[in-house]
Amino acid sequence: MQKWIMFVFFAAASVLGLFLMTFGLPEKPVDESAGLAEGVTLLKLKASNYEFDQAEYKIEKGSKVKLLLQNTNGIHGVAIESMNVTLTKDNPSAEVEFNEPGTYPIHCSIPCGEGHLEMKAVIVVQ
């Protein structure tokens, strides 16, 4: 009986190994900040249905920032009208320099459904 169980276990492991070799392992996570120029920091804006991952993003005055839009659920865009920045699925990143302290409102720029008008956040430059 034990030989039969070992055979089934070995066969299942072999099939799993063959499947992984054929279709590949999942891709490793990519570090988006690895390719940034010196002095540029990465700010990810994660958008899901009707909200951003943070209500407030804080950065330092004079910072050069690469804004990166990540849609985690649904299709969204980001607009920072005072900086003339628009991020979409086709154009998910932009480099911006925040020289003036203050609060920069951001909102979803793509109508995404019932909660679209409340999909807002701010970037606070200190």
Across all residues in the chain, what is the average pLDDT? 88
The SS3 of residue 121 is: strand
pTM of the model: 0.72
Q: Which amino acid is at 124?
A: V
Boundaries of domain holding 101: 33-125
Write the CA distances from 5 to 8, 9, 12, 15, integer angstroms: 5, 6, 11, 15
**CATH code, 61:** 2.60.40.420
Summarised one tens digit per residue, pLDDT across range 11-61 is 999 988 888 878 877 777 777 667 777 888 899 999 998 899 999 999 999
Residue 50 token pair? 């009707």
Residue 62 covered by a domain:
yes
pLDDT for 1 equals 63
By CB neighbour count within 10 A (0-12 exposed, 13-18 middle, 19+ buried), where does 101 fall? exposed
